[in-house]
Structure 1
Amino acid sequence: MFDKWLENQPVQQPEGDLHYEALVRSDRFDDKELMAQLGHDVARNYLNPDELAFVFDDLGAPEVAAYLRTNKFPADIKVRHGDFGEIVTAGLYRRVRRWCVPILKLRYKQTPNQAVQGTDVLAFRFRLTPPVIAVPEVKTRAYRDRRMSKEAYDSLEKVLVRLDESLHFAMVRCSERGHQFLVRHLARLLRNPGDRAVERHMVFVHDDDTWKDDIVTILAGLVTQPTELTVVKINGLKDFVARVYQAAETSAAPRRTETGEDTAA
């Protein structure tokens, strides 16, 4: 779905260590189909299969929607936008760029309007030598904010210092789901921190109407190591996110893999 929803927009590369990619909506999905697809993906990011089985079996559609609004989906607009940015980022890295994204962090929210601590998204290429970890810092804005570049830079530096905590969190979650293949790989990365390559990534999900490339110029002046920046531009972002979450309320069952299993922890 993500590779059909988004397509590359030509950009001018900044000088220095920053590589910039911009993604905009393609015309391969009509609006109704896009909302349905994104609604499924939002629901899947908040709900694991066990929760579906235990909570939703005896509920009708209105009760499911009410449960999601009360217990899972954030009412705070800022938090909801942040969650949506993480969902888009995880989908982009898993389904388009073909990284391994082993956990869906939003499933582990304690309360809907609070963020889960740690790295926004962790993505891996375990089969490379050395294994590669992408650490995307995600920022979502429905309005123009020149401070975003500095905030993203500072946040990424902080999570990189505490990367082992996020790796441990991912390992435990995978162990709980019985994903021993992933547990072994993550444990190896924790035991041998010198035998891994860490890449700096940033993803900005931004309202297309208010975006200006001076944000890229500011960020390029801050980074001192190779950094990948992806900007996902969405027209009318605030209304777009609201409609996606409305679609998610009617999508109690997450999207499944071809084998019928939800393989993310």
Structure 2
Amino acid sequence: MEQPEGELRYEALVESGELDDEELMDQLGRDVARNYLNPSELALVFDDLGTPEVADYLRANKFPADIKVRHGDFGEIVTAGLYRRVRRWCVPILKLRYKQTPNQAVQGTDVLAFRFRQTPPVIAVPEVKTRATRKRALGTEAHDSLEKVLGRLDESLHFALVRCAERDHQFLVRHLAALLRRPEERVVERHMVFVHEALVWKDDVVALLADVVTQRTELTVVKISGLQEFVARVYRAAETGAGPRRTEINEDTSA
């Protein structure tokens, strides 16, 4: 699809095929686990447990059973990884670690990403939507959600600041505090990420969204074939891989 006219910028991503299926599931499973678990929890809970017991714990206490919530969480995990590893933004917190109830979403901005060293510093605010079925109005719904999130951005920045202070990441605390104190000295970028079933995706979603966007907005669509089963397999890989690989699930200090 050509770029739409107006303020919307569109990029589509598809599976690269660079990893074989087993490697892909292993990598994504570990990434899912590290988004829900922090090192202190691993040390306190998992030290005396084998793989089956770890899997039971994750199913009961961490991973959502509700398919809609699980898909939403997966979309946020994919988005955080995309901005941190591929686009090289700073993503200072993994929000899913702060879930209190597995089948409820964490309130606030889906993902926050920063370029602190730019002048003025830049904040990317991606609104994430994950869909296994087609909905033509997906883009306009995301647009409305993003508007609400941007109206309460300082709440999400404060949440991130407190979480970084708890981890004693003073560099991040200083920069986040400056963004809160001087909102006029920051640039806020509007982003959307749709993680979507590839077989039912149609570009008319982009065209409809382009009609309502009035400010520069970056849209990324991640297309995955068989999305529902793909997500289920990734979570099964996370359940079985978290126990023996727990030393690999480290705090994200560079993101």
Same fold (TM over 0.5): yes
Give the Cα separation in 2 of the matches to 1:60 and 1:104: 25
Give the Cα separation in 2 of the matches to 1:48 and 1:130: 32
In structure 2, do the counterparts of structure 1 residues 17 and 155 end up closer, same or farther at CA, with 3 Å as the change threshold?
same
Name which of 14, 21, 24 aligns with 1:31. Answer: 21
Alignment RMSD: 1.4
Name which of 45, 60, 81 aligns with 1:55. Answer: 45
Alignment of 1:185-196 (within 5 A): 185-196=175-186
Q: Which has the higher contact order (CA 8 A, sep 6+)?
A: 2
Q: CA deviation at 1:264?
A: 7.1
Q: CA deviation at 1:62?
A: 0.3
Q: Deviations for 1:137-193, whole angstroms, at most 9, x for unmatched residues?
A: 000000101121121001000010000000000000000011010000000000000
Letter in 2 for 1:128: Q
Name which of 244, 247, 255 aligns with 2:237. Answer: 247
Q: CA deviation at 1:41?
A: 0.1
Give the Cα separation in 1 of the matches to 2:55 and 2:197: 27
Any gaps of 5 or more consecutive residues in structure 2?
A: none
**Contact 1:83/1:106 (CA < 8 Å) preserved in 2?**
yes
Give the Cα separation in 2 of the matches to 1:30 and 1:255: 24
Does 1:43 find its partner at 2:33?
A: yes
Name which of 109, 133, 155 aligns with 1:119. Answer: 109
Does 1:75 find its partner at 2:40?
A: no
Give the Cα separation in 1 of the matches to 2:17 and 2:105: 33
In structure 2, do the counterparts of structure 1 residues 162 and 241 end up closer, same or farther at CA, with 3 Å as the change threshold?
same
Alignment of 1:8-19 (within 5 A): 11-19=1-9
Name the residue aligned to 1:230: 220
Letter in 1 for 2:147: E
Give the Cα separation in 2 of the matches to 1:31 and 1:131: 39
Does 1:137 find its partner at 2:122?
A: no
Q: CA deviation at 1:251?
A: 2.0
Higher helix share: 2
Q: With the length of structure 2 as denominator, give the TM-score of the two structures.
A: 0.97
**Contact 1:103/1:264 (CA < 8 Å) preserved in 2?**
no
Name which of 118, 140, 144 aligns with 1:150. Answer: 140
In structure 2, do the counterparts of structure 1 residues 255 and 27 end up closer, same or farther at CA, with 3 Å as the change threshold?
farther
Q: Deviations for 1:230-249, whole angstroms, at most 9, x for unmatched residues?
A: 00000000000000000000
Name the residue aligned to 2:195: 205
Give the Cα separation in 1 of the matches to 2:3 and 2:231: 29
Q: Deviations for 1:102-132, whole angstroms, at most 9, x for unmatched residues?
A: 0000000010000000000000000000000
Letter in 1 for 2:75: G
**Contact 2:92/2:252 (CA < 8 Å) preserved in 1?**
no
**Contact 2:93/2:252 (CA < 8 Å) preserved in 1?**
no
Any gaps of 5 or more consecutive residues in structure 1?
A: 1-10
Indicate the SS of the match to 2:213. coil
Give the Cα separation in 2 of the matches to 1:261 and 1:94: 14
Letter in 2 for 1:30: D
In structure 2, do the counterparts of structure 1 residues 255 and 226 end up closer, same or farther at CA, with 3 Å as the change threshold?
farther
> Which 4+ residue blocks in structure 1 deviate beyond 3 angstroms?
253-257
Share of identical aligned residues, percent?
Answer: 78
